[in-house]
Amino acid sequence: MSTQSNIRIFDTTLRDGEQAPGCSMNLAEKIEVARQLEALKVDVMEAGFAISSPGDFESVQTIANTVKDSYVCSLSRALEKDIDASAEALKGAKLPYIHVFLATSEIHMQHKLRMTPEQVLERTSAMVKYARNYCDEVQFSAEDATRSDRPFLAQVCAAAIQAGARTINIPDTVGYTTPAEMTDLLAWLQANVENADKAVFSVHCHNDLGMAVANSLAGALGGARQIECTVNGIGERAGNAALEEVVMALKVRRDLFGADSRIETTQIARSSRLIYQIIGQGVPLNKAIVGKNAFAHESGIHQHGVLAEKTTYEIMTPESVGVRVNAMVLGKHSGRHAFESRLAELGYALEPAELDAAFAAFKVIADRKKEISDADLEAIVSHRPQVLSPVEPSAQRYELEGFHVHSGKDVTAVCVMRLAHGDEVHEEVSLGDGPVDAAYNAVDKIMGTSEAVLESYNIQATSDGKDALGEVVVKLRAGEQIRTGRGLSTDIIESSILAYLNAANQIAAS
C-alpha cells in the first residue's frame, strides 16, 4: 500500500461506530454506507468483526465482494478462530486487510486477558504470523496502548513487525491521552521500536475527554501515517475521532502537517447525512464541518467580511465539503429535465426506475412547498425507501391512504388512519398521548405491530423556513430485529407516519 506523504484514512464507522448503542445497521444499510465510504475514497474500511456474529460475517463478506477501491478489513482478536473467520469473510475482497488486536496495558493484561506480558508478546507474534498466511495487509493493534508501559509496548510492536505486520496501530482505547503525550508517544515508538521504518504507524483515538481528533492529529505530528476514525465521530461512549474533522484539518493545515489524505472531501456532507438517515442520530448544529451552522455567518461583522473577501472568516469553503450555498432552486413548474440535470450536477446518477420514483416524490412535495432547495432534493433522492430500507418485492406493503389527527391542549389526541394493503383499505381509530402516538397506535392496530417497541424517534428539518421538509428517522424493534424507517414530508405528522410505516413494513416482511 502506498504511503508517500499521504496520511491513510482507516474508517471504522462500520465496526467501532456500529457497535455503539443505537448505531446498529442492517446488511442493506451497511452496504449503502460501504458504497459511500468508497466514494469518499477511504483507504481502508473496517467492515466488521467477522467472528462476532453470523450477521457481521455476512456483512464483511458482502462488503468484501462489493468494494473495489478501498481495502476491506475485518477485526480479529489474537485467536486463530477469529483470524480464520476474517480470512474466510474476506475471500472475495480485491484488497483484503486483516486487523489483529491484543491489549498491552498492565490493567487489561491482568484483569481482562489474564495473561502475562511474555504470553502477550508470544501470542502477538504467533497470531500476526498466522494472519500473514492469508494476506499481506495485516495490522496489529496494541489495545489500550496509551496506558501501557512504553518499553513493553515497544517490544510488542517490534514483535508484530518482525512477524509481518505492515501497520502498527496505537489505540487510545479509553480516551485517556492528551495531544502532547500522543505526539511524544508516536515519536518515541518510532525511535525505539526495532524496524519501526518497516511498518506504518497508526492512531485510533476515543473521545472520552473530547480530544479524539486533537490526539489523532497530534499522532500524525509524531509520525503516524494512518488515522482511524468514523463518520460524524460515532462510536462507543463519547465516540471515535470524527473523520470529517481529521480530514479537513489535514487539508486546511497541510502547511503544518506536511501531508494530506486522498479523501474526496466533496463527499463529506453526503456521508454525514447518510449516517444520520441510517442511525437516526443527528449531529449538533455547531458540529465542526458537518453541523448545520458550520458555515453560517450570523454576525453582521462576519457577514460583511465574508462578502468583501471570503477568506476573512472562512478557512475552507462549504463547497469543499459538499455543502452547496445559494444553489439553484426548483419549484412545481420545474420539469423532469431540470430535475434530472440538477441531480446530475449534484452527483446523482439514478437508474430510470429510481429517477421515476424520485421525480414523482419531487412533484408531490413541490405541490406543497414553493421552493425546493438542493438540500431538499438530496433528501428526496436519498429517501427512496426501497434503497435504504428494502422490503422484499414479493411482500405486500401497507401504504398510507390518508389520515386525520385531532390534538391540542387538554384533549386526548385521536387519529383516524387509512392504510391500503393490496386491493383492501383498512381504517382504524386510535387515541394517544399526542398526534404521533395516536397515529402510531392506529398503524399498530391495522398492521398488528403493537408488540413492536419504538426504540428511537428523530426529526430534523432539511432546510430553513416554515415550509421546510421534516425528515423523520425511527428505529422499531420486534424481538431481536431492529428496523430503521424514514419519512419525508412538509407535514411532520405525515413524515412521522411514513417513517413508522417504512419500519413496520420491513418487520412485517421479515
> Can you say whether residue 398 is alpha, beta or left, with left for phi > 0 and alpha for psi between -120 and 50 degrees?
beta
Angle between helix axes 117-132 and 80-89 (nearest 10 degrees) is 30
Footprint of ligand KIV on residues 85-104 (CB under 6 A)?
A: 101
484: phi then psi, degrees, rounded to nearest 5: -100, 130
Cβ distance to ligand KIV smaller for residue 29 or 82: 82
Smallest gap from residue 206 Cβ to ligand KIV (A): 6
Q: Which residues 119-178 are close enough to bind ligand KIV by CB under 6 A? A: 141, 143, 169, 171, 173
Nearer to ligand KIV among residue 76 and residue 271 (C-beta): 76
Smallest distance, ligand KIV to C-beta of residue 201, A? 14
Angle at 35 between CA 31 and CA 38, to 5 degrees: 135
Which candidate, 273, 500, 499, 491, places its Cα nearest to that of 381?
A: 273
Query: Which one of ligand KIV, Zn ion, none is in contact with 105 (Cβ closer than 5 to 8 A by kind)?
Result: none
Rounded least distance, CB 60 to Zn ion, Å: 17
Judged by beta carbon distances under 5 to 8 A according to partner kind, the member of Zn ion, ligand KIV, none in contact with residue 143 is ligand KIV
Those residues whose C-beta lies under 8 Å from the C-beta of residue 326, and which sit 6 or more positions away, are none
> What span, in angstroms and rounded, lies between the C-alpha atoms of 491 and 499?
12
The sign of the torsion formed by the CA atoms of 36, 282, 268, 223 equals negative
User: 147 CB contacts (<8 Å, ≥6 apart)?
Assistant: 105, 106, 107, 173, 174, 176
Of residues 477-496, those binding ligand KIV (CB under 6 A): none
Which is nearer to ligand KIV, 210 or 465 (by Cβ)? 210
Q: Which of these, 3, 1, 46, lies nearest to 224 by C-alpha position?
A: 3
Give the nearest distance from C-beta 202 to ligand KIV in angstroms: 9
Cα 74–chain centre separation:
17
| Residue among 166 and 204 whose Cβ is closer to ligand KIV | 204
Which residue of this chain has its Cβ atom nearest to Zn ion in the complex?
A: 16
Q: Which is nearer to ligand KIV, 143 or 376 (CB)?
A: 143
Please tell me whether residue 470 binds ligand KIV under the rule CB under 6 A: no
Q: Which does 137 bind (CB under 5 to 8 A by kind): ligand KIV, Zn ion, none?
A: none
- Euclidean distance between CA atoms 429 and 100, whole angstroms: 55
Choose among ligand KIV, Zn ion, none what residue 486 binds, the Cβ cut-off being 5 to 8 Å by kind.
none
Task: Judge contact between 151 and 188, C-beta under 8 A.
Answer: no
* Contacting positions for Zn ion (CB under 5 A): 16
Minimum CB–partner distance for residue 441 and ligand KIV (Å):
41
Question: Site for ligand KIV (CB under 6 A): which residue of 11, 13, 16, 272?
Answer: 16
Closest CA to 72 of 128, 146, 137: 137
CB of 215 to Zn ion, least distance (A): 13
168: left (phi over 0), alpha (psi -120 to 50) or beta: beta
Range 65-84, binding ligand KIV (CB under 6 A): none
- CA 85 to centroid of chain Cα atoms: 24
Secondary structure string (H, E, C) spanning 322-365: CCCCCCCCECCCCCHHHHHHHHHHCCCCCCHHHHHHHHHHHHHH
52-81: buried (b, 16+ CB within 10 Å) or exposed (e) per residue?
A: beeebbebbbbbbbbbeebbbbbbbbbeee
Q: Where are the beta strands (DSSP E) in 118-213?
A: 138-143, 167-172, 200-205
Alpha-carbon gap, residue 204 to 224, rounded angstroms: 10
Residue 101 binding target from Zn ion, ligand KIV, none, CB below 5 to 8 Å by type: ligand KIV
Residue 233 engages ligand KIV in binding (rule: CB under 6 A):
no
Judged by beta carbon distances under 5 to 8 A according to partner kind, the member of Zn ion, ligand KIV, none in contact with residue 239 is: none
Q: C-beta of 209: minimal distance to ligand KIV in Å?
A: 14
Among 30, 108, 204, 397, binds ligand KIV (CB under 6 A): 204
Per the CB < 8 A criterion, the answer to whether 132 and 164 are in contact is yes
**Is residue 26 part of the contact set for ligand KIV (CB under 6 A)?**
no
Please, what is the minimum distance in Å from the beta carbon of residue 204 to Zn ion? Answer: 6
**Shortest distance (Å) from residue 198 CB to ligand KIV:** 21
How many chain residues are in contact with ligand KIV, going by CB under 6 A? 9
Minimum CB–partner distance for residue 282 and ligand KIV (Å):
24
Judged by beta carbon, residue 101 or residue 403, the one nearer ligand KIV is: 101
| Positions that interact with ligand KIV (CB under 6 A) | 16, 101, 141, 143, 169, 171, 173, 204, 206
